[in-house]
Every structure is written in structure tokens, then in C-alpha cells.
Chains A and B, each alone.
Chain A
Amino acid sequence: MTRTRFQSMEEIVADDLFPRVDLALRAGRHFDLADVEEWSFLTDAAPFLEGFYARYHCRLVQSPDSYWYLVPEGDLLPVRRLRAAEMVVGQTMALLLLDPAITETRGILPRTRVLETLAGIVGQDELPRLVLDRPLPRDIAVAAERVRERIAGALRSLSELGFVQLLPGELLLIRPATLRFADAARLAPSLEEGLRILVARGSIDLASESGDG
């Protein structure tokens, strides 16, 4: 039997950590082992919190990589889908995390590596089309600057969600939750099958809305 410090939902709600953790989960935050207090709190409170969030039509999930997050399943809580820039930046960071070279630096990289890697995969010309809104700037230098701004904005919002930690000196630390962007590639032998599984789980949506980017 798992030992837990909480015996009831009342004790959990009365805990000092509950308001902060609850609000953060409802804002899309992911908690991994580096968030020592919050992670321990969620691990101990999970048996009660699962039922609590189910009433909000949400599912409290602990991934095989040990991080916690909330998956909205109904429409009681507002839901958003990550935007284009956030998605491609997140997937690029997941790819960097899968590279063994990252073990030398414990996941710490210069922020410019993300843009360089992404540009290397999709091509410099394709980047503006991928992350910027239409109409695209005609001037290449202006487009490049807007791409950089959009990538920087994506990193900031991903850091608020717990996928990455922005460090001083233009560095970043890729956090384990970033592997969520690799789930579609990890779950099945083909990407299509992986996406189908994730759609069935309610983790992702296919097809972009207007205004994504």
C-alpha cells in the first residue's frame, strides 16, 4: 500500500501548496522532479486529486517520464492548442533532448541552438511560412527578425508551461516534459499511428485553427 501524507481531500485543499499547484495545473503547467515540493505534493495527493479534477472534466496524468500535467477532456475548463511556433520549437527541443551529446551539458544549451536546429531541419526559407502569420514580410531581413521574435516568444510561453527553463546568459534548460512533443514519434512505429493514439487520448488536436502562429 502506498504511503501518503494525505488522508482526505480536505487535508489536500488545506495544504499551503494546493492553491499554487492547482492554479498552475489549470494554466497548463507541467511539474517534473526538479519542482521538488510540487512534485512530491502531487505524488502524495494524486489518489484524491484524480477524482477532484475528473469533476472538472480533466485528467491528472503522470507520464512515464515522471512529470505531472492536466489533460482537459471536456469543456468546463477553457482549452487552447499550442500555436505553430510553440509546437515546432517544442518538437525541436525534444529532438535535442534525444541527442546523446546533451548528456554532457545536462540539458543546458544556448537558446540559439533551437533556431539553428530548426532552420537546419526545415530550411531557412520555410521557417517564416511555418511560424509567422500571413501575409509574410517581403523583406528577408524583416522576416528573419520576426522569426527570431516569434521563437523567443514561444520559448517564453513554453517556459511558463514547464517545458523549458530560461537561464541567464541566453541559455536554456530543456525539462523532461519536453518529451511530450516526442510522444507521437515514440508511441508507435509510424507518426500517423502515434498521432491517432494521442488524439484518442485527448492529448492533441489535429488540423490548425485560423490564427495559429
Chain B
Amino acid sequence: MVETRSLSRVPPMNGSSVAEVVARLHRGGLHLEIGTTDLCFLAAIHVRNRDGEGSSLDEASLRDLYAFVSEVTEPAAPNVQKRATHALERLRDQRLLARVDGAGIVRAGDWTLTRLSTGILDYYLEEGALTRQSLLVLCSTLRATLHQVLLDATTGGDDRWWDERVLSPLRVTVSDLIRGIDRRQQGLDEQQDEVRARVAGLLEKHWSDALESCEALLDETARTLRELGEVLLVETGAIVDLVEQIGAVSSKADRHVVEATAHGLAGETLRVGAWGSDRMDAWDAYFGFIQRYLRTVVRLDAGRATSERLREAIRSWGSNPWGIRVPEPPPLRALRDPEARLFLKPVVRPRAARDRPPRQESPPVGGVDIAAEVASLLASGEARLVDALATILPQVPPGGRYGTTGEVVEELALAGIVRRPRDEAWVAAEGLEVQDLVAVRRLRPRPETSR
């Protein structure tokens, strides 16, 4: 809902640009707020007036009308008289109701609808749906008016003639009629939306039992739209033709304002025609879709059990997976373009065994007899690695000490029985760090090993 708050007058907007109009309205703080009950109240006044009960109502009648409306829209709400008072004030403040002032004396309690409220109600209550009849009437009236305008433009005259007989009818009558067709055509959109909602509602409630009703509704709407489409197509073409003739005559007479107005109206008429054409296409697409839907979905599943089974299938897919088989496109081949290659001379060296067997080289030990040294240390009953290294390593060049340490450990293990001391800390030994161990002299001969 749009809200209106301010009572300030809005200056005339004719000829103003979009920016000026928007700025002016914004400065005025305009907004409109009409609830359902208020709208129904205004509609009730409108209907009373239309049914020939006069164009104004006294306050008592208004309050009675409000009470009637409130019973329908808000039956449980209390204090209907108080609410009626507030409603009258609210609608007056928003210029939707006005007090009638006769001959300078304000008569208490006589109220009438304003142009604003009438315009809003016309939109909601207008039963001028676009029928073939109403369209033909509108278009005939429009063509007749344009014929007269063309005649007057061709006859020509002074500025006043052009203003009264050509420009004003174009700006007012012709423009209003075109907008009337456009407005009704937009009402057609709403009718189509309503038909779609009704079809969906019928199917939702009654499913296959609604087939006949849906098809009847669709056929009727399709027939109506086809008739309207044909009339609109022919009529808009004729209207544009007439307007363009007026534009051409105006141009010859150097009446450029008239020419511009005529061009604008031609554009508006073409837009109306195009809009109508789009709506027909959209309806055709919907019609085709719904016919297929009725045929393939509704008819084939009269009991509507498919949806339930499908829902269960989705729920259970994880524990019972299955898959639709589809052909798979072959993988892309990236083919190289042929390219020139270098010619490589073939290998001509004769085959021969070129591998040499590995040569074992011992690390330099400086002539130390490790077995004899270890045996000498073990003669006392036990020998520690650290002590053996302290005896042997000084005799070995530095580059060979690491490898010699391994040989000393091996000799200790072969010549004695190795026991690890409790303390396994790393200790320094001749430039290296080792974990010490203790070897005890064997009582039996050492095991044979190959070196």
C-alpha cells in the first residue's frame, strides 16, 4: 500500500519533467494508506452513488454504511461508532472523502467521494473487462475521432483552429481512448493470472476430477483471447495509420508540436499492440503447457499416487541407489599438428659390456689390527666400547674413524657378548659421539662370520 500523509497541494505537473515531478512529490511527503475496511467502505459509497442514490451522503448514512461494512470485514472488532469516526477523519485527511460545501455555507455531515478515491475505485471495481464488444466500441470511437481530426488538420486554419480542432483532441480524447484500451488490456493480464490460479486450484483440490472443468475454462479463455487478438491486430494497424497521416499533414503545415504529439501517440498505439501480441504469445505458451500437463501427468496418474511413490524414492535413494543410463560422449582427442623433426644419426657404437663390477674399498685404518686390540681388551673379562675406541681410533686417520667405529662394534659383538649399560647417554669418543656398550668375554668359541 502506498501511504499519503500530507495535505499540501501538489502544484500542477503538466509539462514537468520526470525529475521535477518526483522532486515535487517527494518534498510534499505524499503517501497513501488504505486498509481493506476503508477500501470496502469507499466502494460501498461508490456503489450507493452509482445506483442513483445521489452523489453525497449525510454523516448518519455514512456511519450506517460503515457499520455494515465493518460487520463483514471486522466482525469481532468493538466500538464501531468510534472506528467510524476515525475512518471518516482518516479518509478526509487523505483527500479520499470531502465535505460538501454549498453556497459558502458548510452543511454539517454531507460527504462525497473525491477524484482520487473515484480513480482508485474505478481500478478495483471496473467491470470493463476487455471483451470483443468493448474493444470494438473503443476502437471505433477512436477511429472516428481520428478521422475527424485528420479532416480538420487537412482543412487547416489559424493557430486556434489547430489547437482546438487537432492538438487538444489528440492530447485528450485520443490519448484517453488509447489509455482506455491499454488499461483494459492490463486487466486482461489479471484475468489470465486468475485463470491460471483457478486451474491450479482445481487440480490441487480435485486432480483428475477437475479435468473437464479445466479444459472448459481453458477453451473459453483461449477463444476470447483469439478474438481479441484478431481485433487488436487489425484495429491498432488502422489507428497507427491514421495517426501517422495526421503527423504527415501537420509536418507539411509546419505544425511541429502536433507532429510530435502524433508521433508519440503512434508509438503508444504500437506499444499497446505489441503488449497485446506478447500477452497472446504468453497465453499460447501456457495453453500448450497446461494441455500437455493434463494429458501426460493428470490423466496418467488419476489416483495421484505417483507423487507419493516419488517422494519415497527420493527418501530411500541413498540406501537403494539407481541411476539413469545415458550415452557418454567420447573423450576429446587433442591431435597434434605434424611437425618437422630433427634427423638423429643412428647409434653405431658396437654393443659391449660397459658395466664394471663395484669395487669394495675399506676405509683407511692405518694398519690397526682391530681383532687383536679387542681381544686384548676382552682378556680382562669385559671391555667397554668407549675404552676400545680410545685405544684404536688415535691410530686411525680422521677420515676412517667413523667406519672403524662400526668395525670395532662388530668385533666386540663377535668376540664378546654385548650388554648395554643402564645409562644410554651419548658420550664423546675421539671426536665422535657414541652410545657406550659393554662386551663380556665369551666362554665358548666365537660364531663364524664371513667378512
Show the binding face of A for B, using Cβ within 8 Å. Answer: 23, 25-28, 33, 58, 64-66, 69-72, 77-84, 86-88, 90-92, 94-95, 97-104, 106-107, 118, 121-122, 126, 129-130, 161, 176, 179-182, 184-186, 189-191, 194-195, 202-208, 212
Contacts and interface: CB of A to CB of B under 8 A. Distances in A.
A196 to B, nearest CB: 11
A202 B329 CA distance: 18
Interface in B289-341: 289-290, 292-293, 296-297, 300-301, 305-307, 309-318, 320-330
Given A64-B300, A185-B310, A104 B196 contact: yes
A87 to B, nearest CB: 6
A148 to B, nearest CB: 18
B324 A207 contact: no
Interface residues of B, number: 42
Contact of B329 (A27, A98, A103): A27
Given A72-B325, A101-B204, 4 more contacts: A25-B327, A28-B326, A103-B200, A179-B297
Nearest to B297: A98
A107 B324 CA distance: 22
A84 B321 contact: yes
Given A103-B203, A121-B315, A122-B315, A205 B310 contact: no
Interface of B: 196-197, 199-200, 203-204, 207, 285-286, 288-290, 292-293, 296-297, 300-301, 305-307, 309-318, 320-330
- In this complex, the member of B285, B297, B316, B323 whose beta carbon has the largest number of chain A beta carbons within 10 angstroms is B323
Given A87-B324, A101-B200, A121 B314 contact: yes
B318 A81 contact: no
Contacts of B297: 97-98, 179
A154 B309 CA distance: 23
Contacts of B207: 100
Nearest to B330: A78
Nearest to A72: B327
B317 A88 contact: yes
Given A25-B327, A72-B327, A130 B322 contact: no
A79 B296 contact: no
A185 B325 contact: no
A82 B324 contact: yes
Contacts of B328: 27-28, 77-80
- In this complex, the member of B207, B288, B321, B327 whose beta carbon has the largest number of chain A beta carbons within 10 angstroms is B327
B323 A81 contact: yes
A26 B197 CA distance: 40
- In this complex, the member of B307, B313, B318 whose beta carbon has the largest number of chain A beta carbons within 10 angstroms is B313
Given A91-B310, A186-B301, A79 B292 contact: no
Nearest to B195: A104
B335 to A, nearest CB: 18
Given A100-B203, A107-B289, A81 B325 contact: yes
A194 B313 CA distance: 11
A78 B327 contact: yes
A176 B296 contact: yes
B429 to A, nearest CB: 51
A204 B329 contact: no
A33 B288 CA distance: 10
A74 to B, nearest CB: 11
Given A78-B330, A184-B313, A103 B321 contact: no
Contacts of A28: 326-329
B206 to A, nearest CB: 10
B190 to A, nearest CB: 14
15 contacts: A26-B327, A33-B288, A71-B325, A72-B326, A77-B327, A81-B326, A82-B323, A84-B321, A98-B307, A103-B196, A103-B290, A106-B285, A195-B322, A204-B325, A207-B322
B200 A191 contact: no
Given A64-B296, A129-B318, A81 B324 contact: yes
A104 to B, nearest CB: 5
A87 B325 CA distance: 11
- In this complex, the member of A88, A186, A205, A206 whose beta carbon has the largest number of chain B beta carbons within 10 angstroms is A186
Contact of B314 (A71, A77, A118, A189): A118
A83 B444 CA distance: 73
A130 B326 contact: no
B284 to A, nearest CB: 11
Contacts of A95: 307, 310-311, 314
Contact of B321 (A184, A190, A208): A208
A103 B322 contact: no
Contacts of B321: 84, 87, 206-208, 212
